[in-house]
């Protein structure tokens, strides 16, 4: 007999194996070669029922009923694998064919079992091939993932090193800035002190021309001293060394101190300065030094950038115990796209501001940082050519109702 299998891809038949009668009984009578077995399998085609064949004189085969077989005969038992034609089992008998083929139904069952076994074997082979492929791909994926993980880890380490280097560089820069500023302050204070003595005539009479010269020296020295003080304070902020303390502050007196600290005041004929303090905001419980610095920079900017019009400072109560401080001017204003950046370090209203108005560009940065330390919020609105308004809200700083008369005062 023989087993013929169908190729799963194209349905072509191939001989899987066969055994001849001569191998079992000796001799070569009735033996078929490979082409004979394949011919029998092809004669069945897609049929699923057993078919009997007998050999004819020209070497071919003809399908017959099992009862018509006298002696030699062939029984072809087709089987399926997964619902598709899978091949056939071919049996060859030369003795008592009628009796042997009477068991064709049982043999058909055997063929079906063979088909199922072969189908299972082929499926198992497919599964094993798929598993092998998946294992290979998984191995590749793991290697790729491992390589990517190594790359990410390397990049993270590099970023960490760069961050440490930048932090160290920034710390060194800040410390150097503070050291230089501190060293500049000592000789600057000496210049300021001796120039003031000369201006007062301590060393002898001073002419009007010399007084004018000394006034310029004193003004420039005070301005430089203010810049150095801002730098030193910024260094303290960066190092988190600024302590916030609460004290009772007289609002109008604090504003008078701020005006006295200004290197110069605007020409009253060109710019009207108005300060309005509401009675309930006459006193505040707040850190006076931090609030003084906030007002110094806000009022100073209003003076600096306003050549004509007015600069107005108002202090009034807000919700609950909050105080609202507003500084408004009719100066050059700030472009909308630059307004959100004015509180950034070294920011200016435009690229030419530093050259036109002088300054480091850290004043509003210090304002923002100081207001946050006080637990408040600062906002700005502006229109180029119209002016600017800065609004500071300090919660919980109003502790009493102000002056008994309840009337606001104006400082000019």
Q: How much of the chain is in helix, strand and coil states, percent to nearest 5?
A: 50, 20, 30
Check residues 22 and 353 and name the one with the higher pLDDT.
22
Q: Which of 257-266, 355-364, 366-375, 395-404 is modeled with the greatest confidence?
A: 366-375
Which residue carries 């501001």 as its tokens? Answer: 353
Give the CA distances from residue 188 to residues 63, 194, 195, 305, in Å, rounded to whole numbers and listed in that order: 124, 10, 11, 27
E strands along 308-386, which residues? 309-317, 323-329, 377-383
pLDDT band, residue 404 (cuts 50/70/90): very low
Check residues 351 and 140 and name the one with the higher pLDDT.
140
The b/e string for 13-31 (b: 16+ C-beta within 10 A; e otherwise) is bebeebebbeeeeeeeebe
pLDDT value at 359 more than 80: no
pLDDT value at 412 more than 80: no
- Contact of 340 with 294, CB cutoff 8 Å: no
The b/e string for 89-121 (b: 16+ C-beta within 10 A; e otherwise) is bbbbbeeebeebbeebeebbeebbebbeebbee
Q: What is the pLDDT of residues 312-335, one digit of tens each?
A: 999 999 999 999 999 999 999 998
E strands along 217-292, which residues? 247-250, 271-277, 283-286
Q: What is the pLDDT of residues 151-181, one digit of tens each?
A: 888 888 888 888 888 777 777 777 777 777 7
Specify the pLDDT at position 322.
Answer: 96
Specify the pLDDT at position 60.
Answer: 84
User: Average pLDDT of the chain?
Assistant: 80
Check residues 276 and 221 and name the one with the higher pLDDT.
276
- The ranges assigned to domains in the chain are 2-102, 167-238, 247-411
d(CA 41, CA 15): 9
Topology of the domain comprising 247-411: Heat Shock Protein 90 (3.30.565)
- Contact of 399 with 321, CB cutoff 8 Å: yes
- Whole-prediction pTM value? 0.57
């Amino acid at each position: 007999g023989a087993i013929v299998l169908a190729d799963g891809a194209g349905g072509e038949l191939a001989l899987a194996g066969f055994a001849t009668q001569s191998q079992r009984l000796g001799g070569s009578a009735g033996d078929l070669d490979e082409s004979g077995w394949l011919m029998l399998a092809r004669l069945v085609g897609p049929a699923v029922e057993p078919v009997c064949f007998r050999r004819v004189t020209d070497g071919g085969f003809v399908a017959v009923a099992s009862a018509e077989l006298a002696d030699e005969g062939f029984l072809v038992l087709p089987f399926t694998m997964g619902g598709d034609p899978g091949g056939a089992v071919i049996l060859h008998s030369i003795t008592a064919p009628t009796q042997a083929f009477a068991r064709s139904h049982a043999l058909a069952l055997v063929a079906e079992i063979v088909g199922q076994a072969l189908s299972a074997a082929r499926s198992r082979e497919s599964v094993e091939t798929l598993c092998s492929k998946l294992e290979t791909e998984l191995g590749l994926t793991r290697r790729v993932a491992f390589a990517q993980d190594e790359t990410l880890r390397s990049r993270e380490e590099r970023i960490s090193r760069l961050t440490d280097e930048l932090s160290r560089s920034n710390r060194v820069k800040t410390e150097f800035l503070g050291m230089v500023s501190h060293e500049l302050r000592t000789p600057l204070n000496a210049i300021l002190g001796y120039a003031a003595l000369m201006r007062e005539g301590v060393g002898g009479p001073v002419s009007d021309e010399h007084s004018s010269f000394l006034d310029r020296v004193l003004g420039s020295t005070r301005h430089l001293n203010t810049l150095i003080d801002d730098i030193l304070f910024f260094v303290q902020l960066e190092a988190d060394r600024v302590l916030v303390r609460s004290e009772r502050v007289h609002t109008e007196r604090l504003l008078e101190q701020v005006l006295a600290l200004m290197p110069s005041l605007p020409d009253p004929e060109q710019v009207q300065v108005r300060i309005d303090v509401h009675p309930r905001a006459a006193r505040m419980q707040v850190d006076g030094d931090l609030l003084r610095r906030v007002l110094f920079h806000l009022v100073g900017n209003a003076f600096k950038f306003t050549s004509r019009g007015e600069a107005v400072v108002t202090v009034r109560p807000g919700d609950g115990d909050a105080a609202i401080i507003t500084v408004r001017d009719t100066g050059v204003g700030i472009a909308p796209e630059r307004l959100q950046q004015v509180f950034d370090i070294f920011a200016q209203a435009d690229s030419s501001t530093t050259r036109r108005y002088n300054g480091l560009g850290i004043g509003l940065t210090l304002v923002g940082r100081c207001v946050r330390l006080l637990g408040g919020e600062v906002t700005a609105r502006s229109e180029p050519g119209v002016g600017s308004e800065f609004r500071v809200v300090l919660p919980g700083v109003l502790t009493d109702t102000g002056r008994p008369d309840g009337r606001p005062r104006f400082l000019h």
